[in-house]
């Protein structure tokens, strides 16, 4: 195992602080804070941006009480849309992402950046594809797939050749789980990301990354991830 060098101090590298893993209570049944409050909290915490990564999976969709795919996606995107409006009002960049869980064959969560929300209407039920087929479809469209908390209890780490990065710091994990994720990323030479996995007020600003320049849209965010495989990470206990 190679030694794990210290992470650069994110506060010393001002530019663009963004949380890569944030849920809203409008969409994620496990989350407790409505989108507009999430945005206000992050603005107060000194962030420049957040990515809304609400849960995209079969059991979440079943709770919506709507049947057609366009209505499911209207509901799925409602947290992001509320957050974006509030972000425009208060001056916080809000980007659309997702946390997808496939129906099988094992349990794992993936953070997806770079998919246009409109695309989600055109290709129903991406969670039924499995990671390999999902990638074949979305990576050519510009998507970037980060493995969320691969070593959280109950999760199975995915084939590293099918992911673009690893969430090596997750604000909801314990330190040992995060350390195993960091070792996994280093063993496989994958970029290392950090995210709060914000569900509750107490989790605001636990994680994120510091981009060298401002980004205003998802394309810019993914470009920054690809151009900077080792971004300074925000990691707060």
Angle between helices 35-44 and 78-90 (to 10 degrees): 40
Q: Which of 197, 198, 210, 215 is close enough to bind Zn ion by CB under 5 A?
A: 197
Q: Which of 26, 48, 99, 192 is close enough to bind Zn ion by CB under 5 A?
A: 99
Which residues, including other chains, have CB under 8 Å from residue 48's CB and lie 6 or more apart?
A: 15, 16, 17, 18, 92, 93, 214
CB of 237 to Zn ion, least distance (A): 18
Tokens of 156: 């199975």
d(CA 103, CA 113): 20
Convert residues 123-162 into a mask of x (bound to Zn ion by CB under 5 A) and - (unbound): ----------------------------------------
Which residues, including other chains, have CB under 8 Å from residue 176's CB and lie 6 or more apart?
A: none
CB of 112 to Zn ion, least distance (A): 12
Tokens of 74: 């209207």
Cβ-based nearer residue to Zn ion, 13 or 45: 45
Burial class (CB within 10 angstroms; exposed 0-12, middle 13-18, buried 19+) of 208 = buried
Cβ-based nearer residue to Zn ion, 28 or 146: 28
CB of 99 to Zn ion, least distance (A): 5
d(CA 130, CA 126): 8
* 14 touches Zn ion by CB under 5 A: no
Contact 232, 209 (CB under 8 A): yes
Contact 213, 14 (CB under 8 A): no
Peptide bond just before 169 cis, omega within 30 deg: no
Q: In the 8-state DSSP scheme, what is residue 212? A: S
Single out the segment in contact with Zn ion by CB under 5 A; choices: 84-92, 99-107, 210-218, 226-234.
Answer: 99-107
Single out the segment in contact with Zn ion by CB under 5 A; choices: 23-31, 43-51, 133-141, 157-165.
Answer: 23-31
- Which residue lies nearest Zn ion, judged by its C-beta? 30
Single out the segment in contact with Zn ion by CB under 5 A; choices: 185-193, 194-202, 210-218, 219-227.
Answer: 194-202
Convert residues 30-69 into a mask of x (bound to Zn ion by CB under 5 A) and - (unbound): x---------------------------------------
Tokens of 213: 């320049």
- The count of chain residues that interact with Zn ion, using the rule CB under 5 A, is 4
Cβ-based nearer residue to Zn ion, 114 or 207: 207
Interacting residues with Zn ion (CB under 5 A)? 28, 30, 99, 197
């Amino acid at each position: 195992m190679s030694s794990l060098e210290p992470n650069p101090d994110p506060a010393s590298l001002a530019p663009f602080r963004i949380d890569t893993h944030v849920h809203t209570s409008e969409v994620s049944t496990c989350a407790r804070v409505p989108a507009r409050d999430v945005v206000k909290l992050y603005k107060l915490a000194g962030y420049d941006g957040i990515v809304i990564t609400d849960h995209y999976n079969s059991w979440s969709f079943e709770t919506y009480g709507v049947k057609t795919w366009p209505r499911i996606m209207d509901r799925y995107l409602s947290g992001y849309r509320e957050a974006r409006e509030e972000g425009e009002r208060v001056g916080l960049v809000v980007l659309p992402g997702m946390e997808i869980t496939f129906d099988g064959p094992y349990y794992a969560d993936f953070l997806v950046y770079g998919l246009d929300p409109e695309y989600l209407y055109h290709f129903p039920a991406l969670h039924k594809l499995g990671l390999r087929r999902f990638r074949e479809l979305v990576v050519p469209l510009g998507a970037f797939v980060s493995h969320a908390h691969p070593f959280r209890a109950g999760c199975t780490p995915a084939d590293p050749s099918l992911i673009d990065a690893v969430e090596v710091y997750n604000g909801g994990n314990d330190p040992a789980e995060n350390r195993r994720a960091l070792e996994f990323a280093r063993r496989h030479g994958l970029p290392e990301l950090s995210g709060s996995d914000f569900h509750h007020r107490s989790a605001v600003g636990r994680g994120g990354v510091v981009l060298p320049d401002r980004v205003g849209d998802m394309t810019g965010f993914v470009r920054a991830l690809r151009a900077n495989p080792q971004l300074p990470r925000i990691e707060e206990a």
